[in-house]
């Protein structure tokens, strides 16, 4: 019993000693950092310090703009995709875009069940759509179909607008070149 008591006392003393050593080391490093901050405050002229603040504010604005631009890229590619892939008799009322999970929540209306089925099949067969989840659908008295669905998109959607533009340009170029080749 005495051995356990003396062992626990020695462990307690070791812990207290380590704590005191840690606090002392922490205070020494803090004073070194404070000294370094004082030295940095004396480096440079007032004009240079003001220019540094201005550069840092521009850097913050640039970072904010980059974030906004990345969000815009996802949204513009998704809207270009939806514009091209949506059938004429389907209307979307609500879009919920999540760039992080690459998920798009949609709710809308289709003229009838046949058009709605074709729209779902088109999404399911598209290379940019990883999965389609039908959350709800209601057939109204006027044969219109109200629906809510979720699309999980492939990361390739981020290149959708540039790929679409490239294929349009290529087909327009081929249409221009072929008539002159036949002459």
Instruction: Classify residue 154 by its DSSP letter.
Output: P
Residue 166: pLDDT band (50, 70, 90) is very low
| Contact indicator for 138, 113 with CB cutoff of 8 Å | no
**How far is residue 69's CA from residue 82's CA, in Å, rounded to a whole number?**
20
What pTM, to 2 d.p., does this model score? 0.53
The pLDDT tens digits of the residues spanning 70-91 come to 767 778 888 888 889 999 999 9
Which is the CATH superfamily of the domain at 84-172?
Answer: General secretion pathway protein M, EpsM (3.30.1360.100)
Report how far residue 89's alpha carbon sits from residue 149's, in angstroms, rounded to the nearest whole number: 17
pLDDT band at 179 (very low <50, low <70, confident <90, very high): low
Higher pLDDT among residues 168 and 73, named by residue: 73
Q: Give the 3-state secondary structure of residue 38.
A: helix
Q: Domain residues of the chain, as ranges?
A: 84-172
* Residue 24 pLDDT exceeds 90: yes
């Amino acid at each position: 019993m005495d051995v356990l008591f003396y062992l626990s006392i020695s462990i307690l003393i070791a812990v207290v000693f380590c704590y005191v050593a840690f606090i002392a080391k922490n205070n020494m490093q803090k004073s070194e950092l404070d000294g370094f901050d004082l030295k940095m405050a004396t480096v440079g002229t007032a004009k240079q310090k003001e220019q540094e603040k201005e550069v840092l504010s521009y850097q913050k604005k640039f970072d904010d703009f980059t974030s906004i631009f990345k969000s815009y890229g996802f949204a513009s590619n998704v809207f270009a995709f939806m514009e091209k892939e949506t059938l004429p008799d389907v209307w979307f009322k609500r879009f919920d875009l999540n760039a992080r999970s690459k998920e798009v929540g949609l709710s809308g209306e289709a003229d009838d069940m046949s058009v709605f089925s074709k729209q779902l099949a088109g999404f399911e067969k598209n290379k940019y759509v990883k999965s389609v989840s039908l959350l709800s659908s209601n057939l109204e008295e006027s044969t219109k179909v109200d629906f809510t669905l979720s699309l999980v998109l492939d990361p390739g959607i981020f290149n959708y607008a540039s790929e679409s533009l490239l294929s349009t340009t290529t087909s327009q170029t081929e249409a221009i070149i072929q008539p002159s080749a036949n002459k």
